[in-house]
């Protein structure tokens, strides 16, 4: 579950409600494409903007439509009290693992972040993925802190931010972190633009925004990068497939992957609205036109809402 | 209400509950010292960590113990939907004004922040203070955006981050912003260390963390800086009083004002516990000892919980 491809799904929503049928379709689409796990209530799933009840409901819908594909559930919140409540809810809803970022309002110290993971892992009975996302949490993990947290019970994987584009530097980054981790704790890349580089240079998993929208294409990249029972790994092919997505990666960098993924889902007919909680705004005008163009250059298979 | 001194009170709490009697004492203490307004549910009041029900209750307690001192209520949240709910609650609880920061998880664009203030001011019937706190929101206002938001209905004041320590640079900063604002929209300084400099170089108000703990001392600084019906303004005295607090300002910079204020309240006997929501941790060891020393150097009047 902590290797291969994890598809992080949007939570289709408007200001009043969650669009449960659209969520179910996104989950089924990714599961049918053969992703190794589903990431629900990640940053792409707008977890930070939802109430406890909404989060519980999103998980229930996702688990009931995921079939045999395991569901990772985001449990982050500003307050430890709330993280513990989300962890309990996620386990009760049938999540196979939880994902935790050190969300902050007051900037957190390393001791506070360690304490958060200590408090939460002490109460868990499923594995935990450490979610290192400085863009949204504004907390910068040191490798020493990652090493300390990885020793805690239930820690199974670390979701790391983008690696350098230079392949040698990417390999160095991943091997330096791996040297500090207990055996069996995997390293997964987020930052879709650098995923093919990371997967072909030592990363075990891809925690992917795009796979929530275009799962077949991302499965193809991942199988090429890591190999599979049916095919030997083929790094060049993985990198070439990813390079074709450069227009999308540029848009991710420019507008944030959530805004682009939300626009893409709407353009592809997977959702009926922009799916961004206000004050976040849907892309419009030239930005949206650029997403249309980027999607239009993909193979027809990937452009179908199926 | 948007000039002079606003005392931002802690919300005394532990993991289970809010200590309402301690909150009432803090509010009464500041009101009795003659502050011009009370800032409740600001960053110092840990608003971002509280449920809607807790926030409503904090305001009810504060308003009922504030006497004739007007209460500014923080209404910030990640989602516009929740900000609107907090605004309605605050007005119903008797807040005289609201305070709004563009809290973020996904980094916000300037258009999104303008849209937030547009949506919220459209629903208000009390004045609003724009809360510019890049340390907690990670959003950097431009002066152009401040100017646009200040044109919206109900906008009465801007709470700005620290000004430069150099007096001429501080005066330039404040006058540059003022030139862009409609008449009557005041500028208030946060960042207590630079408050005396700001107040003596053009700021209208001090939105103060320390005044929640040591209100008499902060009233003295403010009256010296701005003058009052009883005394001519005396900039040198304001700056000298503030300079005596340098050890506290250093601790604010090192640990964040909330952690220091929470420790000071406990040390002075104003609260019975550290009052920080986990994962935030109370200062201990040498950091706490430094707060004890900094408080010990103050006049006995300010060290009494009265």
What is chain B's length? 306
Which of A18, A53, A86, A279 to mutate against chain B (most B CBs within 10 Å)?
Answer: A279
How many A-B residue pairs are in contact by the CB < 8 A criterion? 89
Chain A residues with CB-CB distance to B under 8 A? 15, 43, 48-49, 78-81, 102-103, 105-109, 111-113, 115-116, 119, 135-136, 138, 256, 258-259, 277-281
For the segment A197-212, the average pLDDT, to the nearest whole number, is 98
pLDDT band at A305 (very low <50, low <70, confident <90, very high): low
The angle that helices B80-92 and B110-121 make with each other, rounded to 10 degrees, is 30
What are the helix (H) ranges across chain B?
20-33, 52-65, 80-92, 110-121, 134-137, 143-150, 167-178, 195-199, 215-226, 235-243, 246-255, 257-267, 285-296, 300-303
Contact yes or no for B48 and A78 at CB 8 A: yes
Please judge whether A105 and B80 are an interchain contact, meaning their C-beta atoms are less than 8 angstroms apart: no
* Residue that is written with structure tokens 């005041």 in the block: B186
Q: How confident is the model at residue A302 (pLDDT cuts 50, 70, 90)?
A: confident
Residue for token pair 């010990």:
B296
CB within 8 Å: B105 and A281: no
**Taking CB atoms and an 8 Å limit, are A79 and B258 in contact across chains?**
no
Question: What would the mean pLDDT of A212-218 be, rounded to a whole number?
Answer: 97
Closest chain A residue to B119, measured at CA: A279
- Chain A partners of B280 at a C-beta cutoff of 8 Å? 106, 108, 112
> Which positions ≥6 away from B113 have C-beta within 8 Å?
A279, B102, B139, B141, B145, B149
**Residue of chain A with shortest Cα separation from B137:** A105
List, for chain B, all residue ranges whose pLDDT scores fall below the cut of 70. 304-306
Give DSSP secondary structure letters for B80-141: HHHHHHHHHHHHHTT-SEEEE----SSPPPHHHHHHHHHHHHTT-SS-EEEE--HHHH----
Of B49, B108, B109, the CB nearest to A78: B49
pLDDT for A161 beyond 70:
yes
Please tell me the distance in Å from A193's CA to the nearest CA on chain B.
18
B78 contact residues in A (CB cutoff 8 A): 48-49, 277
Domains by residue range for chain B, with CATH: 4-234 (3.20.20.70)
pLDDT, tens digit (0-9, with 9 covering 90-100), for A118-139: 999 999 999 999 999 999 999 9
ipTM: 0.96
- Mutate: best of B106, B115, B286, partner A, most A CBs <10 A: B106
In the predicted structure, residue A70 carries a pLDDT above the cut 80: yes
Q: What was the pLDDT predicted at B277?
A: 98
d(C-alpha B225, C-alpha B240), whole Å: 11
Residues of B within 8 A of A113 (CB-CB) are 279
CA–CA gap between residue A260 and residue A254 (Å, rounded): 9
Cβ separation of A48 and B80 shorter than 8 Å? no
Picking from A105, A114, A275, A287 by the largest number of B CB atoms within 10 A of its own CB, the best residue to mutate is A105
Structure confidence by residue, pLDDT tens digits, A239-296: 999 999 999 999 999 999 999 999 999 999 999 988 999 999 999 999 999 999 999 9
Q: pLDDT tens digits, residue range B182-233?
A: 999 999 999 999 999 999 999 999 999 999 999 999 999 999 999 988 889 9
Residue A140 is predicted with a pLDDT of 96
Residue of B nearest to A105 (CA): B136
Say whether A108 and B279 touch across the interface (CB within 8 A): yes
For A277, the closest chain B residue by CA position comes to B79
A81–B256 CB contact, under 8 Å: no
**A13 to chain B, minimum CA–CA distance in Å?**
13
Average pLDDT, integer, range A221-243: 94
């Amino acid at each position: 579950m902590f290797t291969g491809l994890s598809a992080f799904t949007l939570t289709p929503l408007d200001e009043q409600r969650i669009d449960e049928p659209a969520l179910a379709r996104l989950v089924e689409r990714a599961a049918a494409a053969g992703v190794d796990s589903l990431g629900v209530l990640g940053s792409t799933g707008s977890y930070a903007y939802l109430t406890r009840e909404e989060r519980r409901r999103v998980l229930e819908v996702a688990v009931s439509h995921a079939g045999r594909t395991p569901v990772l559930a985001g449990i982050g919140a500003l307050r430890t009290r709330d993280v513990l409540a989300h962890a309990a809810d996620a386990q009760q809803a049938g999540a196979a693992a939880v994902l935790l970022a050190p969300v902050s309002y007051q900037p957190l110290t390393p001791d506070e972040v360690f304490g958060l993971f200590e408090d939460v892992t002490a109460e868990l009975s499923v594995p935990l993925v450490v979610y290192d996302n400085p863009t949204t949490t504004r907390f910068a993990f040191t490798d020493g802190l990652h090493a300390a947290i990885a020793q805690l019970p239930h820690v199974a994987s670390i979701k790391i931010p983008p690696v350098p584009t230079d392949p040698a530097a990417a390999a160095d980054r991943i091997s330096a972190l791996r040297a500090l981790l207990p055996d069996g704790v995997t390293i997964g890349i987020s930052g879709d633009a650098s995923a093919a580089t990371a997967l072909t240079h030592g990363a075990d998993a891809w925690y992917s925004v795009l796979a929530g929208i275009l799962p077949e294409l991302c499965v193809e990249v991942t199988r090429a990068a890591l190999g599979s029972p049916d095919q030997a790994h083929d790094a060049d092919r993985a990198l070439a497939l990813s390079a074709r997505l450069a227009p999308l990666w540029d848009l991710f960098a420019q507008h944030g992957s959530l805004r682009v993924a939300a626009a893409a889902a709407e353009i592809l007919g997977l959702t009926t609205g922009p799916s961004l909680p206000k004050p976040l705004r849907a892309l419009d005008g030239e930005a949206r036109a650029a997403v249309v163009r980027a999607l239009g250059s993909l193979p027809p298979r990937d452009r179908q809402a199926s």
